[in-house]
């Protein structure tokens, strides 16, 4: 196998590891509450604080290291990711578990911010889309299969098994990156000026798009973060059956992500509106179906299908806006939107925890539906604001190109 392919595999392996650790706590929350004596909402901070760490790593660390050697940054990120999971796997208190999670999250955010540019630099320009799709496949595979498998094994052994598994993945990833990533991969010769960066974060249309990302993508996590205890305590299905449901959820995520790229080709912002409307209705319905096994499983499948469908549309939309208003800062805009995804996960998990403390876990789907409902309103505003700056033909051509690359 040639070195370019092995370099792409090295990047994909890190995406695989981050895909596992991003969502594995969803199935482990009951174990955290039992071992560390914390409440369910406190246990949910393993998801929300991780998302916060990803956001910090993706924006602040990326900005501070804009001129650094890309390979060295990748190796540093993987090493920090590995150490964070050793901390988590060996944690003797909930605080140390959170410390490990935050360390790993910062590494996750930094790696995600630079991996795509490194992957593109490894291949010919006409193969860039394939390179990006390949490395992101690691995240999708982890979400669909590794997370449910880790949850299943944790039920019989220990939740620590899942974290040690990620340590093994990180160790292999570290070796692959050291061996196969070229020293000059993704070399950066210039970066946007501070004035350009300031203009980017003060442009109303871009700010609005980022808020939509947080609410629309993050809404699902007000209930998904606590899906395992919902299914066990309200739907009354076994822990092993929850693992099967999570596998189904992951498969639906992969399908929804693919369909999101297809549906958003012509006009991503309008496709977002329809996606959020349907997603909000499904989340609202889960409040009524959660106590019936068959109805709940069908609803969860719908939640999975819509959960990531908005991702390529949201990413394409922010990049279109950046090209229109601050062309030199498209990469930073992309990084900010990735941080927006993490911010949405954090906000959703926190909101779900608050709802649990004051009303009960059964009401988390209503909180999720409310967040997505707000994104519907803001998306309508965004559609109005985006009508003037560019023609529909130009927007369609740009959207098709961006979504092709994202896929």
pLDDT digits (tens, 9 = 90+) for 10-35: 888 888 888 888 777 777 788 888 88
- The verdict on 165 and 101 lying in the same domain is yes
Q: pTM for this one? A: 0.72
Q: What is the pLDDT of residues 276-330, one digit of tens each?
A: 999 999 999 999 999 898 999 999 999 989 987 887 778 778 877 887 888 777 6
Q: Where is the domain boundary, 191, 226, 258? A: 191
Whole-number Å distance between alpha carbons of 56 and 161: 27
Specify the number of domains making up the chain: 2
Q: Which residues contact 215 (CB under 8 A, 6 or more apart)?
A: 344, 347, 371, 372, 374, 375, 378
Q: How confident is the model at residue 133 (pLDDT cuts 50, 70, 90)?
A: low
Domain with 197 in it: 192-407
Q: Has residue 132 got a pLDDT over 80? A: no
Q: How confident is the model at residue 394 (pLDDT cuts 50, 70, 90)?
A: very low
- The verdict on 260 and 388 lying in the same domain is yes
What integer is the mean pLDDT of 70-85? Answer: 89
Whole-number Å distance between alpha carbons of 229 and 288: 16
Q: Where is the domain boundary, 161, 191, 221? A: 191
Better pLDDT: 232 or 55: 232
Instruction: Calculate ∠ Cα 258-264-269, nearest 5°.
Output: 135
Q: How confident is the model at residue 404 (pLDDT cuts 50, 70, 90)?
A: very low
- The verdict on 175 and 199 lying in the same domain is no
Q: How confident is the model at residue 407 (pLDDT cuts 50, 70, 90)?
A: very low
- The verdict on 132 and 28 lying in the same domain is yes
Contact 405/128 with Cβ under 8 angstroms? yes
pLDDT of residue 397: 44
- The verdict on 197 and 117 lying in the same domain is no
Q: What is the pLDDT of residues 175-216, one digit of tens each?
A: 988 888 887 766 655 566 778 878 888 889 999 999 999 999
> Residue 103 belongs to a domain with what CATH number?
1.20.1250.20
Residue appearing with tokens 């578990």:
97
Q: Where is the domain boundary, 191, 222, 247? A: 191
Which of 20-24, 241-245, 355-359, 391-395 comes out lowest in average pLDDT?
391-395
Which of 115-124, 226-235, 266-275, 385-394 comes out lowest in average pLDDT?
385-394
Q: How confident is the model at residue 221 (pLDDT cuts 50, 70, 90)?
A: confident
pLDDT of residue 15: 85
- The verdict on 150 and 222 lying in the same domain is no
> In b/e form, how buried is each residue of 339-375, taking b as 16+ CB within 10 angstroms?
bbbbbbbbbbbbbbbebbeeeebbbbbbbbbbbbbbb
- The verdict on 199 and 175 lying in the same domain is no
Q: How confident is the model at residue 155 (pLDDT cuts 50, 70, 90)?
A: confident
- The verdict on 371 and 236 lying in the same domain is yes
Convert the chain into a string of H (helix), E (strand) and C (coil): CCHHHHHHHHHHHHHHHHHHHHHCHHHHHHHHHHHHCCCHHHHCHHHHHHHHHHHHHHHHHHHHCCCCCHHHHHHHHHHHHHHHHHHHHCCCCHHHHHHHHHHHHHHHHHHHHHHHHHHHHCCCHHHHHHHHHHHHHHHHHHHHHHHHHHHHHHHHCCHHHHHHHHHHHHHHHHHHHHHHCCCCCCCCCCCCCHHHHHHHHHCHHHHHHHHHHHHHHHCCHHHHCCHHHHHHHCCCCCHHHHHHHHHHHHHHHHHHHHHHHHHCCCCHHHHHHHHHHHHHHHHHHHHHHCCCHHHHHHHHHHHHHHHCCCHHHHHHHHHHHHHHHCHHHHHHHHHHHHHHHHHHHHHHHHHHHHHHHHCCHHHHHHHHHHHHHHHHHHHHHHHHHCCCCCCHHHHHHHHHHHHHHHC
- The verdict on 186 and 299 lying in the same domain is no
Q: How confident is the model at residue 274 (pLDDT cuts 50, 70, 90)?
A: very high
pLDDT of residue 276: 94
- The verdict on 324 and 260 lying in the same domain is yes
- The verdict on 147 and 252 lying in the same domain is no
- The verdict on 291 and 164 lying in the same domain is no
């Amino acid at each position: 196998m040639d070195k370019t392919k092995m370099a792409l595999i090295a990047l994909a392996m890190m995406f695989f590891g981050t895909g596992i650790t991003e969502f594995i706590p969803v199935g482990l929350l009951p174990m955290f509450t039992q071992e560390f004596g914390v409440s369910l909402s406190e246990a949910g901070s393993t998801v929300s604080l991780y998302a916060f760490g990803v956001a910090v790593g993706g924006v602040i660390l990326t900005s501070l290291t804009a001129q650094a050697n890309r390979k060295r940054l990748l190796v540093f990120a993987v090493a920090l990711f590995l150490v964070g999971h050793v901390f988590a796997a060996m944690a003797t208190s909930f605080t140390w578990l959170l410390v490990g999670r935050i360390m790993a999250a910062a590494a996750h955010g930094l790696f995600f911010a630079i991996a795509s540019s490194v992957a593109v630099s490894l291949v010919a320009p006409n193969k860039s889309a394939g390179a990006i799709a390949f490395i992101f496949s690691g995240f999708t595979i982890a979400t669909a299969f590794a997370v449910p498998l880790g949850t299943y094994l944790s039920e019989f052994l220990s939740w620590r098994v899942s974290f040690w598994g990620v340590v093994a993945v990180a160790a292999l990833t570290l070796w692959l990156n050291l061996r196969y990533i070229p020293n000059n991969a993704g070399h950066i010769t210039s970066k946007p000026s501070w004035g350009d960066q300031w203009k980017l974060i003060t442009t109303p249309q871009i700010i609005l798009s980022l808020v939509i990302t947080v609410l629309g993508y993050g809404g699902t996590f007000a209930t998904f973060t606590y899906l395992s205890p919902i299914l066990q305590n309200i739907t009354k299905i076994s822990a092993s059956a929850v693992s099967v449901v999570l596998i189904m959820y992951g498969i639906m995520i992969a399908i929804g992500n693919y369909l999101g790229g297809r549906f958003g080709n012509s006009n991503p912002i309008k496709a977002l509106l329809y996606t959020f409307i349907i997603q909000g209705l499904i989340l609202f319905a889960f409040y009524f179906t959660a106590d019936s096994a068959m109805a709940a499983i069908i609803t969860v499948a719908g939640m999975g299908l819509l959960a990531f469908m908005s991702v390529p549309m949201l990413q394409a939309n922010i990049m279109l806006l950046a090209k229109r208003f601050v062309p030199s800062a498209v990469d930073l805009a992309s990084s900010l939107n990735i941080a927006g995804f993490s911010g949405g996960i954090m906000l959703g998990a926190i909101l779900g925890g608050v709802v649990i403390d004051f009303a009960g876990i059964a009401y988390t789907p209503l909180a999720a539906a409310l967040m997505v409902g707000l994104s519907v309103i803001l998306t309508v505003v965004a559609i109005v604001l985006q009508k003037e700056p560019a023609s529909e033909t130009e927007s369609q051509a740009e959207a098709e190109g961006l979504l092709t690359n994202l896929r």
